Structure 1
């Protein structure tokens, strides 16, 4: 490539040549798959290098380029492409520092109004430029949502609404109908993703969660591996679910739950300093080390929205093939067992999907965009020697639907589809009304025992039918227990998150943390703990999911409306020791302690069947936790004394 200060080529000619080359490189990078570890990132590095030169060139010769015809929105387009490259790198690596870099460029575009003409009115802009600005706002919204910049999200939603309204007045309404539905999606999304749901970071935070260096060491003669969560596949689809473009609510929560909360220089929530944006080239240099070295690397995560089954299996096989020797992979499904005939996908969802595809243009890999046509061929099922007849018999009932149009077998994932991949360590989370059918995987694995968490087949009823709770009908309760357990418990027992006191919430989190640590100590000391769970406890993310699962099962088993009703209870395979089951003293006392502190209605508590020893243990734990709470406010546990655990 010719140097920028070349005296042989006019500046304007050099600029347009670099711009054309940058566009071609960007298209190639956009088409690269974002999954798999053994990738050739040469094109990515070249794209960043060209955009670095391009940005520096327009900085140094802005006036000359403007006189030659460079328009302000074209400068914004360059900055937007750089932001998209950073966001794409976040998708490939799950390194949140790239997400922060994308935010910096998008914020600069917004503050400098690159996509507005001098008139500042969309009426005097052409339709193409209006669409560019709308796509920019939607992409920036996604970055802000994932990064947790709530104040900026609110600002962008207001701008998106006003921009769509202005465009509807200035252009044909049919051209912007899908953008109206995009606005409806984000408004609906934010009605569910309330401040109460963000009282604490969903990410692994050292302020609330145990530091990895402080995790107890699980000694075992069965395994010497120290498995680490390396790769994650997240797929969620339900009819009329809460989502924004292709980011569904369940996937959004799990995505955050499997990342470290940024600390140090990347922990600022009130905004980012973009003063450097126009003064140098470091911000567009991929080779610059911008990671936060105070944190371990995040596991790589891939979000799949409405994939074809063949595409999903191709992605799964690629990730399994590339999984490091010390790696374990998490697969998360939140989906129904099949299309609801009586409740088909609404027209709003269909239009929104089209809008999502338009927003995703030049943003995500087209191969990863969710196809809406059914695949041509059915994936070949592996031959399962053990339980083959049982699995075959359960295929019709035990299957998951990704949202592909059509009712053929090629549109569903069956338990036997996953068995060939059990040659590698897998942590499987299935949140579906058909989740229990996937129990057949246990015992049929091809090499590694799969750790399986299964949701209840039915959603437990709330104590009240308040509108606050009704909003959460579009999000999974099981996923909420895994990602925000205190909030899930509150909504289950009919407690609204409106005006919830922050100090009270922090103490409830401390109670939960104490209980989770108790369950962990019990598991570690259990002789019957399966080796796969021993390995799981060695990874901070998986450990937290397992312990929250135990809490979820205890709550739903001891919650009066669901007591002894299997359809409302989650399950896991291999089974955990009886010392942590819902009937154990540790589980019952945790339920009573947390529920009573949150002033749980008495009609939610099933009469406990504890003996004298268990009662003594519960009161001893109450005293210990009360001492713990003194550190955060010295507040008495309200109502705890009235909930004695006596024999009936």
Structure 2
């Protein structure tokens, strides 16, 4: 799929148009010289002048295209771990050249569209606009500034509204027709990240029609690749929409993002986030699994159009790793640790399979002494086997606890990481771990999305998943969301004021993103504790360092009324004791 979504070179033979025009210039010059006294001399001279001007326009346009393509390719090839001091100047140069290219084609559109000049087509204008959209998108990926994601959406929407790619199938040229498919796939990714789900549904239908037409009319070599891309897109959107519908049959909406920076409720201490997913069967699109997408969303801010004098978003910078190796995870964590100060947090999220004591975490009899378990068990970053090279062990994460470290593990092997030692006294760290196992009736890790991550994404989504809710009144859904918001706020306030709250947790709760994760972790544990299907301790999430029994009991008491009100709004009290 990556090859289908990559940027192709222009590939058109515009140079032949320039050669033809230069021949016309030469002919006009010869005509003007040979008929110096003829009545048409002035007209010939004017024609020669116009042709020469058009040649200069075409040549300058091609020069700008070449420079833009070289810079764009170089920017894409820069590693995601490279310092902002390197990639930002490169980005600024690239954006500057694309701005010149865009303005130049606008100012000289009439000349460039002449067949004997350059023969500029609308889909080529669309490709320039699409690359500008990609630049904004890549800037978002490196900074997490959703304002630039909004700018990417603006460009992609303009391409759709101006029908730049509408005629590409008529060319009967496969690589030209594929430009519209690439644009459609990229636009859908941006729409998903902005929660423009109505537009996403339209694009999925459009993609199906385009892929079928592409395969039938052009029969290209990569038609199966595009069919696979469409299937991945459709499966991802279907999993994304795995929510109850309201009484009107509409999908129940959810908004997981934090407020915009203007309306934020606290400061941000998370600087870098490494998000990794290794579940082999989860729906994926553009290197995003459902779990990755959900965790990414809850660390975003509401997009605001960027201002010229505005710094980058204070939302944490994120690295997205789809099915990475253990060494790749360690490399990205190390690069992130390099860039943060001693007062900022590094956040690591992992969703995937794992093993306890060297045996599959889902069951079996342990034959390894407990003292060796943390060295043999861990997170499987490749298909399970006997090879420990691709397994991330608890002690692998110890070096990253030298600075404030927050870790969320959604894996059957997550509880094993409670053995991670605290070697750097005074430096806060916290592990939030999913249940080791789930009741047989609950597809906690086996479904299209993990249950623990669903609760972190939004508690109401987690409750709906546990209770398998299919239909909820719109008013009840909205009220449950507000109730869950009040519940989270109450948990944070209670932990901030409780005398038994550990000192390290006070620092964590000053960050609005980390405070929300802690609150939703508490909500998840309370909900599962009271659900009739969850009977064993290993079916509950845990944390390291753990909270005292007294504090957990007090949190349970605090949550009793909030739980009852939330369940009442959703109408699922019968699933709880």
Task: Render the CA deviation track for 1:150-192: whole Å, top value 9, x for unaligned.
Answer: 2221221111100111112123376311221222222222222
Residues 494/7 of structure 1: CA separation in 2 closer, same or farther (3 Å cut): closer
Q: In 1, are the aligned partners of 2:412 and 2:437 still within 8 Å (CA)?
A: yes
Contact 2:136-2:148 within 8 A present in 1 as well: yes
Q: Distance in 2 between matches of 1:470 and 1:574?
A: 24
Of 223, 236, 248, which residue of structure 2 is paired with 1:189? 236
CA displacement at 1:393 relative to structure 2: 3.3
Q: Does 1:98 align with 2:148?
A: yes
Shift of 1:34: 2.6
Q: Matches of 2:329 and 2:108 in 1, distance apart? A: 48
Residue 85 (structure 2) aligns with: 39
- The CA RMSD over aligned residues, in Å, is 3.1
Q: What is the CA–CA distance in structure 1 between the aligned matches of 2:171 and 2:56, rounded to whole Å?
A: 33
Q: Aligned residue for 1:520?
A: 492
**1:167-220: CA deviation from partner (whole Å, max 9, x where unpaired):** 1212337631122122222222222222657623111148xx99644x6xxxxx
Change (3 A) 1:327 1:36: farther
Q: Which among 531, 538, 541 is matched to residue 567 of structure 1?
A: 538
- Give the counterpart of 1:136 among 180, 183, 205: 183
Q: Which range moved further: 574-583 or 100-109?
A: 574-583
Corresponding residue to 1:83 among 133, 146, 154? 133
Partners of 1:301 and 1:572 lie apart in 2 by: 23
Q: Indicate how the Cα distance of structure 1 residues 55 and 38 shifts in structure 2: closer, same or farther if over 3 A, else same.
A: closer
CA apart distance, 1:446? 7.2
Equivalent of 1:586, from 558, 561, 575?
Answer: 558
- Deviations 1:303-329, CA, capped at 9 Å, x for gaps: 111223222222211110110343111
Tell me: higher relative CO, structure 1 or 2? Use CA pairs within 8 A at least 6 residues apart: 1
* 2:274 and 2:318 in contact (8 A); partners too: yes
TM-score with structure 2 setting the length: 0.80
SS of the residue 2:483 aligns to: helix
Equivalent residue in structure 1 for 2:527, among 555, 574, 580: 555
- Structure 1: unaligned runs, 5 residues or longer: 1-5, 216-225, 267-286, 343-388, 464-468, 607-648
Aligned to 1:376: none
Alpha-carbon distance, 1:577 to partner: 3.9
CA distance 1:192–1:560, shift in 2 (3 Å):
same
**Number of matched residues?**
504
Q: Which moved more, 1:501-510 or 1:51-60?
A: 501-510
Equivalent in the alignment of 1:25 = 71
The equivalent of 1:48 in structure 2 is 95
1:553 Cα shift?
Answer: 0.5
SS of the counterpart of 1:241? coil
- How many Å apart are 1:99 and its aligned residue? 0.6
- The answer to whether the 8 A contact 1:512-1:594 is kept is yes
Q: In the alignment, does 2:510 pair up with 1:538?
A: yes
Q: Partner residue of 1:15?
A: 61
What is the match of residue 249 of structure 1?
290
- In structure 2, what is the Cα distance between the partners aligned to 1:421 and 1:48? 35
Distance 1:597 1:566 in 2: 28
2:24 alignment counterpart: none
- Larger deviation: 317-326 or 328-337? 317-326
Superposition pairs for residues 126-205 of structure 1, below 5 Å?
A: 126-172=173-219, 175-194=222-241, 196=244, 199-205=253-259
Summarize the Cα distance change of 1:144–1:200 in structure 2 as closer, same or farther, 3 Å threshold: same
In the alignment, which residue of structure 2 is the partner of 1:505?
477
Do the aligned residues in 2 keep the contact of 1:26 with 1:47 (CA within 8 Å)?
yes
* TM-aligned CA deviation for residue 462 of structure 1: 4.8
**What does the per-residue CA deviation read over 1:4-44, in whole Å, with 9 as the maximum and x for residues that have no partner?**
xx999812111111111111111111111233544322221
Does structure 1 retain, via aligned residues, the 8 Å contact 2:301–2:315?
yes
* Paired position in structure 1 for 2:122: 72
Q: C-alpha distance in 2, partners of 1:246/1:49?
A: 29
Partner residue, 2:33 = none
Aligned equivalents of 1:31, 1:425: Cα separation in 2: 31
Give, in whole Å, the separation in 1 of the partners of 2:268 and 2:315. 14
Q: Secondary structure at 1:581's aligned position in 2?
A: helix
Residue of structure 1 equivalent to 2:393: 414
Give runs of aligned pairs for residues 44-443 of structure 1, distance below 5 A: 44-67=91-114, 68-69=117-118, 70-117=120-167, 122=169, 124-172=171-219, 175-194=222-241, 196=244, 199-205=253-259, 212-213=264-265, 228-262=269-303, 288-289=308-309, 297-337=314-354, 392-396=372-376, 398-403=377-382, 408-443=387-422
Task: Answer whether contact 1:234 1:303 (CA < 8 A) is retained.
Answer: yes
- Structure 2: distance between partners of 1:537 and 1:31: 38
Per-residue deviation at 1:441?
A: 1.0
TM value normalised by structure 1: 0.72
Contact 1:76 1:115 (C-alpha < 8 Å) held by counterparts:
yes
Partner of 2:12: none
Distance in 2 (alpha carbons) for counterparts of 1:391 and 1:82: 55
Please identify, of 329-338 and 422-431, the stretch whose mean Cα deviation from structure 2 is larger.
329-338
